[in-house]
Structure 1
Amino acid sequence: MELMAHFFIKLIGPRPTFPFDMNESERALMTQHAQYFQERFNQRKVLIYGPVMDPQGPYGMGVLEVADDAEARGIMDADPSVVAGLNRYEMYPMKIGGAQASAV
């Protein structure tokens, strides 16, 4: 069994009020972003993802399960919202202490 690496991703929007005040082009990019992440989820590269409603400003989060740092960066660098310059991301290696299936 191949050992996989895990990374916590923080997707940071262009302003603290984002996504509440998205314009039409930003909304279209975020739709592409959501589809992109759902595809990676279906491929089992993304274990969990979604928005975090931080009062300081919402951000997106995801946990990737990939072979290495290069694969994780490749996934994030190809995200349509990152490619377009709308969002940026921070990526941190992590160790999974435990996980269980959700009812979602």
Structure 2
Amino acid sequence: MSASLFLFRLIPPRADFAQTMTDAERHAMDGHTEYWRALLDAGRVVVYGPVADPEGVWGLGVLRGADRAEVLAIGEADPSVLAGVNTFEVLEILGGTTG
């Protein structure tokens, strides 16, 4: 079975989170960054990074996965989610292709 593509949106706790992180939140985000770099290195992630939304920065990732449940499990294991700092949502990219 080939992998599908999924949009992962990391939702911070407040609009100014990128500018006002506490030390504990920054530590959780350092773990988040390491986690996503490992996913990228393993070929699970197509692209990831912060989005400069005028309403507040949030995180975007595009992942390869067998199904939504697999990608939800990846999100639930994100250190920033485990620390209770961020939440997330996952949406399938219908018919998505990569170059």
Query: TM (normalized to structure 2)?
Result: 0.93
| Cα distance in 2 between the residues matched to 1:70 and 1:13 | 22
After TM superposition, list the pairs within 5 Å mapping 1:4-83 onto structure 2.
Answer: 4-83=3-82
Shift of 1:34: 0.2
How big is the alpha-carbon RMSD for the aligned residues of Structure 1 and Structure 2?
1.0
2:80–2:86: 8 Å Cα contact kept in structure 1? yes
Q: Which runs of 5+ in 1 are unaligned?
A: none
- Which protein has the bigger helix share? 2
Q: Which runs of 5+ in 2 are unaligned?
A: none
SS at match of 1:64: strand
SS at match of 1:93: strand
Letter in 2 for 1:53: A
Q: Tell me the number of residue pairs that the alignment of Structure 1 and Structure 2 aligns.
A: 98
| Cα distance in 1 between the residues matched to 2:56 and 2:17 | 8
| Cα distance in 2 between the residues matched to 1:74 and 1:39 | 15
Letter in 1 for 2:22: N
**Percentage of identical aligned residues:** 39
SS at match of 1:20: helix
Query: TM (normalized to structure 1)?
Result: 0.89
| Cα distance in 2 between the residues matched to 1:92 and 1:10 | 9
